[in-house]
């Protein structure tokens, strides 16, 4: 049987497509090669559907669907993308786009939220990591391709989209009507939790994340003078660009491996090493992770954990330990597929396992009763008495117009710090850093 013996009156493109496959099958083994036998079956099914299906079918669409099924059945992160989906994938790390702000994946064919992106409509509405999206604008997501789901949730700014989710421990599906908005490109922000103790939140890894990180670190170091400890918050950070994760980890490491990549092809294997760029960053670090921390977030957490450079606190991370490559195809199509797994400096693969925190702390907000003062705290103290003397350092401090701080900015920072400290995991991280400083001082005496 040869390709010429088949008749495809409706689609010359089919002949060309199959002809390209045929060219790669050595003539001597064509009739006995198992892949060739499967191709004969594929051709037979395609011809049968073209000639006898109840309605007219488009051979090109059938072939594209076949490729889609072939790729997407490999793993949840591989996909065959039409031109619009391929363009959107590049927008995720480069340009600005309008959507609802969630990162999704297919788990066993089920559309699942990896994490909402902070400061987006989905995050503000209360979409959680682990939510299962069963409908988009009333249409079932069963069998829906990942790129198609993403495309349906994106759209013009301020237009609404309704998603229906199933959440563990919730008896009925939950509906969210979300107004699309521009997804923020800024991925790093910072605050002072207490005098000398900084906080940096990294929401994702985009093209300039490590530059933003450097600026925020410099600002904290200048404000704290000196910085005695740092909390890096990678919770609900779905990852992003590999090189940005490596550069971020490199801020805190002066030597050794950051991450290793190992694939079937030797050319895909690579070890990324740290450089002695910032020897002045020697303060203790606590990294916060949770089930929404994936991919690039896990690279940073794993590297700092294995080098004993940071204490990892929170709950186990997502467990995406694979590396994808993206290849452009003809006519604007794209192919994203897995080429390797990555390993932490100690050789751990976190695929489907995740980073395990050194100290596991469940999320939550400090209870209202804990914020209220006890009876002893409410008792009158010396400072409350009429005409009480000021503390000595306050009494000596000169006050002038030049030294009066910006009250509004001060109040903003105080409010932000107070809000962060109501977060159980952030508060625990700060307590650990302060304790470390206390014991370090005791050891120095």
Average pLDDT over the chain, rounded to an integer:
83
Interval 106-122: pLDDT, tens: 888 899 998 888 889 99
**Mind giving me the DSSP string for 29-48?**
GTTT-HHHHHHHHHHHHHHH
The pLDDT value given to residue 364? 87
Q: What would be the CATH architecture of the domain defined by 188-324+336-360? A: Alpha-Beta Complex (3.90)
Rg of the chain over all Cα atoms, to the nearest angstrom: 28
Q: Which of 187, 295, 297, 317 is catalytic?
A: 295
Decide if 434 contacts 229 (C-beta within 8 A). Answer: yes
Res 175 pLDDT > 90: yes
What does the domain layout of the chain look like in residue ranges?
9-72, 96-182, 188-324+336-360
In which band, very low, low, confident or very high, does the pLDDT at 265 lie, cut at 50, 70 and 90?
confident
CA distance 337 to 322: 10
Res 398 pLDDT > 80: no
Query: 180-194, 233-247, 297-311, 399-413: lowest mean pLDDT where?
Result: 399-413
Res 100 pLDDT > 60: yes
DSSP state letter for 89: H
Q: What is the pTM of this model?
A: 0.77
Q: Which CATH number does 96-182 carry? A: 2.30.42.10
Catalytic residue status for 306? yes
Interval 29-74: pLDDT, tens: 555 677 888 899 999 999 999 999 999 999 999 999 999 999 989 9
* Dihedral over alpha carbons 373, 379, 384, 385 (to 10 degrees): 170
Decide if 308 contacts 269 (C-beta within 8 A). Answer: no
Q: Which of 320, 322, 423, 427 is catalytic?
A: 320
Query: 133-137, 338-342, 393-397: lowest mean pLDDT where?
Result: 393-397
CA 239 vs CA 27, 116, 213: distances in Å: 46, 12, 15
Q: Which of 131, 236, 250, 306 is catalytic?
A: 306
CA distance 258 to 343: 9
Catalytic residue status for 320? yes
Catalytic residue status for 381? no
**Mind giving me the DSSP string for 329-354?**
-GGG-EEEEEEEEEE-TT--B-TTT-
**Mind giving me the DSSP string for 104-130?**
EEEETTEEEEEEEPTTSHHHHHT--TT
């Amino acid at each position: 049987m040869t390709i010429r013996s088949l008749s495809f009156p409706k689609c010359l493109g089919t002949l060309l497509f199959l002809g390209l496959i045929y060219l790669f099958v050595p003539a001597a083994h064509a009739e006995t090669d198992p892949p060739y036998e499967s191709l004969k079956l594929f051709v037979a099914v395609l011809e049968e559907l073209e000639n006898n299906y109840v309605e007219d079918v488009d051979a090109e669409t059938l072939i594209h669907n076949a490729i889609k099924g072939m790729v997407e059945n490999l793993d949840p992160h591989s996909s065959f993308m039409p031109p619009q989906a391929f363009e959107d994938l590049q927008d995720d790390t480069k340009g600005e786009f309008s959507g609802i702000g969630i990162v999704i994946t297919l788990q066993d064919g089920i559309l699942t939220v990896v994490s909402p992106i902070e400061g987006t409509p989905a995050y503000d509405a209360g979409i959680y990591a682990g939510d299962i999206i069963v409908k988009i604008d009333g249409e079932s997501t069963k069998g829906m391709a990942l790129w198609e789901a993403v495309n349906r949730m994106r759209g013009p700014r301020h237009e609404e989209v309704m998603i229906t989710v199933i959440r563990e421990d919730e008896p009925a599906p939950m509906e969210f009507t979300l107004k699309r908005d521009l997804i923020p490109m800024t991925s790093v922000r910072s605050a002072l939790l207490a005098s000398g103790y900084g906080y940096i939140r990294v929401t994702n890894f985009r093209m300039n994340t490590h530059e933003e990180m450097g600026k925020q670190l410099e600002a904290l170091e200048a404000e704290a003078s000196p910085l005695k400890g740092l909390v890096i918050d990678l919770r609900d950070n779905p990852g992003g660009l590999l090189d940005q994760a490596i550069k971020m980890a490199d801020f805190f490491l002066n030597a050794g491996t950051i991450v290793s990549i190992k694939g079937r092809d030797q050319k895909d294997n690579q070890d990324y090493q740290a450089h002695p760029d910032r020897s002045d960053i020697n303060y203790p670090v606590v990294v916060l992770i949770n089930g929404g921390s994936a991919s690039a977030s896990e690279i940073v957490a794993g590297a700092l954990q294995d080098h004993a450079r940071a204490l990892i606190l929170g709950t186990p991370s997502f467990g995406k330990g694979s590396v994808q490559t993206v290849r452009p195809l003809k006519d604007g199509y794209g192919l994203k597929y897995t080429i390797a797994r990555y390993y932490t400096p100690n050789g751990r693969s976190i695929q489907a396992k995740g980073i395990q925190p050194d100290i596991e702390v469940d999320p939550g907000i400090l209870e209202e009763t804990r914020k209220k003062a006890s009876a002893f705290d409410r008792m009158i103290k010396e400072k409350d008495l009429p005409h009480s003397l000021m503390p000595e350092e306050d009494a000596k401090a000169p006050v002038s117009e030049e030294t009066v701080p910006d009250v509004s900015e001060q109040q903003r920072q105080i409010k932000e710090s107070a809000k962060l400290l109501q977060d159980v995991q952030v508060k625990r991280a700060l307590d650990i850093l302060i304790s470390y400083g206390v014991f370090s001082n005791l050891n120095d005496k």
